Amino acid sequence: MSSSIKFNNVNTLFSKSLKFKINDYFSSTYKKKTGNRRIFIKAAVLLTTFTLLYTVLVFVQPHWAVGIVLCLLFGVNLAAIGFNIMHDAGHNSFSENKNLNTVLSYTLNLLGGNIYFWKLKHNIAHHTYTNIDGEDHDIEVKFMRIHHDQQLKKHHRYQSFYFIFLYGVSYLAWIFYQDYEKYFRQKMGGSSTRFHFPLRERIIFWTSKVLHFLMFVVIPIVYVGWLPTLIGWGIAGAVCGISLATVFQLAHVVSETEFKTIDQSKVEEEWMIHQIQSTANFATKNNVLTWLLGGLNFQVEHHLFPRISHVHYPAINKIVQQTCKEYNIQYIEFRSFRQAFMSHVRVIQAMSR
């Protein structure tokens, strides 16, 4: 997981100024950069909801119409656990306690994924080389072309029609196929180098995958039958997949963000400016959406300061915007979810031809 790409580290005045202001904010307000009471309450609510929904669906077995609604909610709940608990814990920003962060980051394994793979793919590749083809594996979406350096294929002409379907199956494809592909290939993407995979992580991989299969496939089939299990998984998985994929795409794959072609392994801008150029916010005034998404609609702040918990993003958002204005740097933010989504659709259409 190494790269020869380097960012400009000369005259990084913007980065120094912004870091100073953010540090001054936390020191002057006596706040910790990690999560506070609110994030612990939210985690308790989401995990309790997860337990209740699973119990009712598998063991109580309500009327099929009620079951469909609960499966929809279960899909939202799965995504919300990822956004709010796993994501902050995976960045070590949930708590000051590193051991607690480690434990909570394994909620991804509970949901069927693998935190070791995620940290390599997301924390390192995506957060360092955002929107750079061949380096940011999060923009390598099978059957999709979203970067101008990616090869245009015949089926891409139809991607504006089938992209929602792909987002819908993305979560199930991730946990039931792509993780195993990474395991046996030991590569994050088609052009990446092989990564080190310790024995401890191999054991965790198989243990968590087996437990997940038992909990989400075997036990439901035993209690409700294979057809209701298949339908329930299809509904919950599609909702979760669309939620996860859409939030990521609206943060990076919109017409206003940059997708750079890197020549001579050199990025002209300093790292923080590159993050601002390749990342967008959306619907930051929507408190309900902010709560559900774990502040990931404040994606600019997250990419600049991934070790700061999402509960602080609304506050530091004002500091980041003001500093960008001082240095004449374009700050990308959509007022609504709809505006961001339509911009994403325009990129898909443009990359289809």
Residue 347 lies in a domain: yes
Considering its fold, how many domains does the chain have in total? Answer: 1
Nearest to 334 by CA among 278, 243, 254, 275: 254
> What was the pLDDT predicted at 10?
81
> What was the pLDDT predicted at 186?
84
The answer to whether residue 340 scores a pLDDT higher than 60 is yes
The answer to whether residue 278 scores a pLDDT higher than 90 is yes
How many residues can be counted in the chain? 353
Condensed to tens digits (0 to 9), the pLDDT of residues 181-207 reads 999 988 876 656 788 888 999 999 999
The DSSP code for 133 is: T
- Pair 46, 85: CB distance under 8 Å: yes
Condensed to tens digits (0 to 9), the pLDDT of residues 105-150 reads 999 999 999 999 999 888 888 998 999 988 888 888 889 999 999 9
Please give the Cα distance from 107 to 47 (Å, whole number). 10
> What was the pLDDT predicted at 158?
96
3-state secondary structure of 194: strand
User: What are the structure tokens assigned to 343, written together?
Assistant: 């911009």
Residue 159 lies in a domain: yes
Using alpha carbons only, give the angle 143, 189, 271 rounded to the nearest 5 degrees.
105
Number of helices followed by number of strands (H, E) in the chain: 18, 4
E-assigned strand segments in 194-301 = 266-267, 281-282
> Structural domain of residue 199, as residue ranges?
6-351
Please give the Cα distance from 144 to 125 (Å, whole number). 19
Please give the Cα distance from 130 to 135 (Å, whole number). 8
Residue 1 lies in a domain: no
Span 23-46, mean pLDDT?
96
- Pair 195, 106: CB distance under 8 Å: no
3-state secondary structure of 34: coil
% of the chain exceeding 90 in pLDDT: 83
Please report, for residues 55, 114, 169, the alpha-carbon distance to residue 348 in angstroms, rounded to integers and kept in the order given. Answer: 39, 29, 18
> What was the pLDDT predicted at 123?
87
Residue 109 lies in a domain: yes
- R_g (Cα) of the chain, nearest Å: 20
Give the list of residues 6+ apart from residue 306 with CB closer than 8 angstroms, or none: 91, 93, 123, 127
- Pair 120, 195: CB distance under 8 Å: yes
The answer to whether residue 1 scores a pLDDT higher than 60 is no
The DSSP code for 157 is: G
Nearest to 257 by CA among 280, 288, 286: 280
Residue 105 lies in a domain: yes
277-310: b (≥16 Cβ within 10 Å) or e: bbbbbbbbeeeebbbbbbbbbbbbbbbbbbebbb
Residue 212 lies in a domain: yes
Residue 295 lies in a domain: yes
> What was the pLDDT predicted at 334?
97
- Pair 183, 205: CB distance under 8 Å: yes
Using alpha carbons only, give the angle 99, 55, 288 rounded to the nearest 5 degrees.
65
